[in-house]
Structure formats: C-alpha cells, structure tokens
Amino acid sequence: MKYLSQITALLLLFMISCGPSEEDKARAKLEFGRLLLVNQDTLGALIHLDSISMLYPKAVYSANAAKNLINEVRFEIFNRKELELDSLQNQIVELEKPFEKEKTEFDRYTQYIHKRQTFQRAWNRSYIQVHLDERGELYLSSNYFGEDWLNHTGLRVYDQGDDAKTNAVPLENPNNHRSDFMELRWEKVSYRNGVDNGVIEFIAQNADRQLKAVFLGNRNYYIILETYDKQAVIEALALSNAIKRRSALETEIKDIKGKLGIS
C-alpha cells in the first residue's frame, strides 16, 4: 500500500508538471483575441490582447504576437479615423458657409454669426437667435424689440399642443440684459449651458411646422418664428455637432499616435 501511494503521488506530480504551460495559456488567449476581432469587438479584443504580457510574462512568443496584432489594429483604426477626419473637415467647410466668423475684444472664442441673424439684419425685430462658437458650444437667446418693457425671463416654443420651454433666467442674472434709447426698448435673454432645456432640438426637429414663440414676462409677447430663423437653428446645430465630433476625433487620433509612437 505504501508503494502504491508513492506511485500515485508521483503520477499526480507528473500530471501537474505536464499541465498547460504559460505559452499554451497565452496562445489560447491570443486566439480568443483574434476571434473577438473577427466578431468586430475591437475594444474587447484590444483589452484581451493587452493583458497577455501581464498575465503570462514568460510567454514571450505569444506576448510579442499579441503586441504586433495590437499595433496592426491600432494602425488600422488610426487610418480609418484620419479618413473620417478628412471627410469631416470638408463637411465643416460646407456647413460654415451660412455663417460669418467674428472675434471681438470681448470674445474668448471665435463666434459663428448666421448671415440671416447679423446685427444689421436683426437689430430692430423680435426673434430667437442661435449662438455658436469655435468649440461647438451652442445656445439660444430671445431678443425683444418694442416700445414697452416685457422684463421677460423665459421662452416657450410651441405648435398644436407640442412645446418646449426654457428654464427661467431671472432679471438680475447677467444673461438677462435690457437697454433702451428714447422710446425704444431692447431685451436679450441668453439661455446658456443647457438652460434652453431642449428648445434648440425642438425647433430643429419641427422646423417644417408653423412654430410660435411666447416671451414669458410681466406681459407675454408672441411671435411666429421666421423660416430663416428656424433654418439658422438647424444649420448651427449641424455645425456644432460636426465641430464637436472633429474635436473628439482629433483627441482619439492623438491618443492612438502616442500608443503607436508616431510623432
């Protein structure tokens, strides 16, 4: 019995020693990474492949193969994103055409002014204006022109039961501005940093409808949105999205170049 026990122990030791090596385990993980790529799970594949050298430091062959495969994938992604960026740059050039660029001493960033909403075209009317800067940051303002003060603090856009309403901007807020000259009154309320509360998207998505707006103040003031003002919102939103996508792409490309060692 003692002899049999010794034989059994030796067999177990032999089986353990003959188990899968680190290289075998790493090779299996490498193949699984390739399978993820075939199934178009690029992010999962990169995470999987990148872990091989850490999990199996002795598996030099598979670790190098994984590293080479990672670089191939990253280079492919890099080329794809470069092509997307080139295409996007061309789109932005077209999207910029309805706008004038302006940067005054009071502006930190270059502003895009829609050609139908320049000061010369719009100073003496009540309307909704769209504002966009070079970062792609977008907001609305409601501009009132008349003989009496509204002291308005908000805006509602609507048509046939569907509507969107901004958050209130109190009279004492710097984004609520009033001025007058002789018998004329101007009020400008800016809905920055999401204060528009979805009004921008509502106008863009319903531009084919006869949208109305009410300036909410001590007394309400109603207007019908002009077709060109609705178009300005659509075009500014499209340009904003393109600029933000460009910025994201440039960051992604810079990150990939760093990982590939490309200057």
Over residues 173-207, the pLDDT tens digits come to 999 999 998 889 999 999 999 999 999 999 999 99
Rounded to 5°, the CA angle 126-132-135 comes to 165
How confident is the model over 112-157, as pLDDT tens digits? 999 999 989 888 999 999 999 999 999 999 999 999 999 999 999 9
Q: Is the dihedral of CA 204, 226, 142, 242 positive or negative?
A: positive
| Mean pLDDT across the chain | 90
How confident is the model over 215-239, as pLDDT tens digits? 999 999 999 999 999 999 999 999 9
Spatial CB neighbours of 195, under 8 Å, sequence gap ≥ 6: 139, 166, 167, 169, 175
Tracing tokens 């719009």 back to the chain, one arrives at 122
Q: Express as a percent the part of the chain with pLDDT over 70.
A: 93
- Distance from C-alpha of 220 to C-alpha of 154, rounded to nearest angstrom: 10
Amino acid type, 91: Q
Q: Which two tokens stand for residue 132?
A: 């966009």
Q: Which two tokens stand for residue 92?
A: 């932005």
The pLDDT of residue 228 is 96
Q: Which residues of 232-244 are buried (b: 16+ CB within 10 A; e: fewer)?
A: bbbbbbbbbebbe
Least confident interval from 14-18, 51-55, 58-62 = 14-18
The pLDDT of residue 32 is 87
